[in-house]
């Protein structure tokens, strides 16, 4: 499925950046959910929504998922979150490649994510971007 391919591709691109790993203080990059008790800051990426592009005859020829990629910090963490996202944005903007069974034809930033969350009296900051990807099967 196109969304699974998009997630696998994003994970591999993010994990391949030694600059990002250093800024995070380790490989704190997760699909969908940051495991409870994980060290912060951490990157989490997930599918927000998506569409299928057709060929005009009713056949889907490409998936166009919208992906959320964000850094989560404890406390207000403005400088840390901003610095990490400044590493992430150029890694993903315009990136192309392949993942098993799919071509990733492009990735472009189309929105921003920025909100606080308080859980059990602890403040967390979420800062990131929304990316539109184009995903086509290789078969």
Q: Quick one: pLDDT at residue 49?
A: 82
Spatial contact of 135 and 5, defined as CB atoms under 8 Å apart: yes
The answer on pLDDT for 25 being more than 60 is yes
For residue 121, give every residue at least 6 positions away whose Cβ sits within 8 Å of its Cβ, in sequence order, or none: none
Q: In degrees, to the nearest 5, what angle opens at C-alpha 69 toward C-alphas 129 and 51?
A: 85
Tens digit of each residue's pLDDT (9 = 90 or more) over 54-64: 555 554 566 78
Give which of 92, 137, 96 is closest to 2, Cα–Cα: 137
Global model pTM greater than 0.85 = yes
Query: Structural domains in the chain?
Result: 2-137 (3.30.70.1700)
Tens digit of each residue's pLDDT (9 = 90 or more) over 27-78: 999 999 999 999 999 999 999 887 666 555 554 566 788 999 999 999 876 7
Give which of 115, 75, 74, 68 is closest to 92, Cα–Cα: 68
């Amino acid at each position: 499925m196109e969304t699974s391919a998009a997630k696998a591709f994003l994970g591999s691109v993010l994990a391949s950046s030694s600059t990002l790993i250093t800024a995070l203080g380790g490989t704190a990059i997760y699909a969908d959910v940051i495991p409870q008790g994980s060290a912060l800051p951490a990157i989490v990426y997930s599918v927000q929504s998506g569409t299928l592009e057709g060929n005009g005859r009713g056949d889907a020829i490409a998936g166009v998922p919208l992906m959320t990629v964000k850094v989560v910090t404890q406390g207000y963490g403005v400088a840390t979150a901003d610095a990490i996202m400044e590493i992430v944005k150029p890694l993903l903007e315009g990136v192309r490649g392949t993942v098993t069974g799919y071509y990733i034809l492009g990735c472009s930033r189309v929105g921003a994510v920025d909100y606080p969350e308080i859980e059990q009296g602890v403040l967390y900051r979420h800062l990131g971007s929304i990316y539109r990807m184009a995903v086509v099967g290789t078969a």
